């Protein structure tokens, strides 16, 4: 059951709503708040500014797989490096700094004094929390350092557990950051609602401040929230949802988070959805933007190498358009690419005209690199 029940006229998947760009009434309450009109193109026929001016990409490897039950996703940072990541970035005239991989503890850390009792969730509520938490915390430190150095922070997971750290780390340096979260899943469970206990389904709820207790190993997040506060709900847009747990659905409906399901993409087209999302999270077009891109948002036909597959996702071009549109704002300052699992990937069976010979690897690894290129300003023309 989709989160949104839209009031706009019908549209095909590729086009704008029939009859032009009409007024929006309400889309599931939180989706339609305050939007008087789907924005028309700006600045000429395309509505887009020039390509972003290349700066420096700071790469943070985040080889964490403990937030879910499948191995292999921890191989992604190395796989994307080997597939041509640095060549791709430098080919787009960006400078490149590799900050290396965040450390992943192999032994259970000693619990912080007092990390028991009513103020903490029971350990079984968040699987592997005492190992995973410090690993995610080390990503927070690396991302904060790169963001404070005014770099475009590119974080490559690993599973989506890293999302709480990357958003917190960027916001520590750029407090007004707005977030575009691309995912088949909402990742808005908390330990009291999660059916699995896997933290990769909880990071957005954590940084939104929706946890009502602490989690052992994640004290760094408590410290961040106490000092900087959670990210504002109205500065977060979720796009591409199609597999949402009941507890998440209820919390999202009550929240100020802007939600665009695959039903919205089907009905309006990805162009109007992106315009609506950007207007909602940044109506004055002035905030730095963070893109958290889960590869499982894309239909498994195009991205087979991921662990939590769900039918009916974004197309190849829809995924690229999201990245291209954000790049063209010239305010995109950071990006996560997560849930690429090279162990589940398929080899490229056919080379096609126009493929970048600088990129190698399986179908999903290649697609991940291409999406990074689009987010850094690579365009068709």
- CA distance readout (Å), 78 to 144, 148, 323: 22, 25, 22
Q: Is 296 annotated as catalytic?
A: yes
Distance CA 265, CA 103 (A): 38
Find tokens 């599973």 and name the residue. 159
Residue from 294, 318, 324, 345 carrying the catalytic annotation:
294
- Tell how far CA 229 is from the center of its chain: 20
Residue from 185, 224, 290, 320 carrying the catalytic annotation:
185
Q: State residue 70's pLDDT score.
A: 85
Residue from 101, 183, 279, 336 carrying the catalytic annotation:
183
Distance CA 57, CA 89 (A): 8
Residue from 74, 248, 264, 296 carrying the catalytic annotation:
296
Q: Is 183 annotated as catalytic?
A: yes
Q: Is 358 annotated as catalytic?
A: no
Q: Which domains does the chain have, with CATH numbers?
A: 56-375 (3.40.800.10)
Residue from 160, 190, 206, 290 carrying the catalytic annotation:
160
Q: State residue 41's pLDDT score.
A: 41
Residue from 279, 339, 345, 370 carrying the catalytic annotation:
339
Q: Is 339 annotated as catalytic?
A: yes
Q: State residue 5's pLDDT score.
A: 36
Distance CA 22, CA 35 (A): 11
Residue from 101, 187, 245, 264 carrying the catalytic annotation:
187
- Return the structure tokens found at 359: 């990129």
Q: State residue 331's pLDDT score.
A: 97
With a CB cutoff of 8 Å and minimum separation 6, the contacts of 315 are 298, 299, 302
Query: Kindly report the CA angle at 167 between 162 and 169, in degrees rounded to 5?
Result: 95
> Where would I find the beta strands (DSSP E) of 209-362?
236-241, 258-261, 289-294, 332-338
Whether the pTM exceeds 0.75: the reply is yes
For 104-167, give the DSSP string: --SSPPPPPTT--STTB--GGGSTTHHHHHHHHHHHHHHHHHHHHTT-EEEEEESSGGGHHHHH
Q: State residue 30's pLDDT score.
A: 42
Q: Is 290 annotated as catalytic?
A: no
Mean pLDDT by 10 residues, the chain (381 residues): 39 38 34 41 47 91 90 95 97 97 73 69 91 94 98 97 97 98 96 93 97 94 97 98 94 97 97 98 97 98 94 97 96 98 92 80 96 94 76
- Residue 377 φ/ψ region, left for φ over 0, alpha for ψ in the -120 to 50 degree band, beta for the rest: left
Q: Is 258 annotated as catalytic?
A: no
Residue from 200, 206, 224, 258 carrying the catalytic annotation:
200
Distance CA 204, CA 141 (A): 18
Distance CA 143, CA 328 (A): 23
Q: Is 294 annotated as catalytic?
A: yes
Q: State residue 358's pLDDT score.
A: 79
């Amino acid at each position: 059951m989709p989160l949104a029940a839209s009031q706009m006229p019908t549209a095909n998947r590729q086009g704008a709503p029939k009859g032009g760009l009409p007024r929006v009434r309400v889309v599931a309450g939180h989706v339609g708040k305050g939007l008087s009109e789907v924005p028309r193109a700006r600045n000429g026929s395309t509505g887009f500014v020039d390509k972003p001016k290349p700066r420096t990409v700071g790469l943070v490897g985040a080889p964490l797989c403990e937030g879910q039950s499948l191995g292999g996703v921890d191989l992604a940072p190395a796989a994307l490096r080997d597939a041509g990541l640095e060549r791709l970035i430098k080919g787009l005239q960006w400078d490149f700094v590799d900050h290396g991989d965040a450390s992943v503890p192999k032994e259970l850390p000693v619990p912080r004094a007092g990390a028991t009792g009513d103020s903490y969730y029971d350990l079984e509520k968040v699987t592997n929390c005492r190992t995973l938490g410090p690993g995610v915390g080390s990503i927070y430190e690396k991302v904060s350092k790169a963001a404070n150095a005014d770099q475009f922070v590119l974080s490559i997971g690993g599973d989506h557990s890293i999302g709480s750290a990357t958003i917190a780390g960027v916001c520590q340096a750029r407090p007004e950051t707005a977030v575009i979260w691309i995912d088949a899943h909402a990742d808005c469970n908390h330990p009291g609602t999660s059916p699995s206990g896997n933290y990769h389904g909880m990071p957005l709820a954590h940084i939104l401040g929706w946890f009502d207790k602490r989690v052992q190993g994640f004290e760094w997040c408590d410290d961040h929230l106490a000092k900087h506060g959670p990210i504002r709900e109205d500065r977060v847009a979720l796009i591409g949802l199609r597999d949402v747990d009941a507890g998440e659905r209820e919390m999202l409906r009550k929240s100020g988070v802007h939600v665009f399901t695959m039903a919205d993409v089907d009905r309006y087209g990805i162009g109007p959805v992106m315009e609506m999302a950007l207007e909602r999270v940044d109506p004055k077009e002035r905030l730095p933007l963070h893109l958290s891109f889960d590869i499982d948002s894309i239909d498994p036909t195009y991205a087979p190498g991921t662990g939590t597959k769900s039918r009916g996702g974004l197309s190849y071009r829809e995924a690229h358009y999201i990245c291209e549109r954000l790049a063209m704002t010239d305010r995109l300052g950071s990006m996560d690419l997560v849930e690429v699992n090279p162990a589940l990937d398929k080899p490229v069976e056919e080379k096609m005209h126009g493929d970048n010979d600088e990129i190698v690897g399986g179908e999903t690894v290649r697609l991940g690199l291409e999406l990074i290129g689009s987010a850094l300003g690579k365009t068709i023309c």
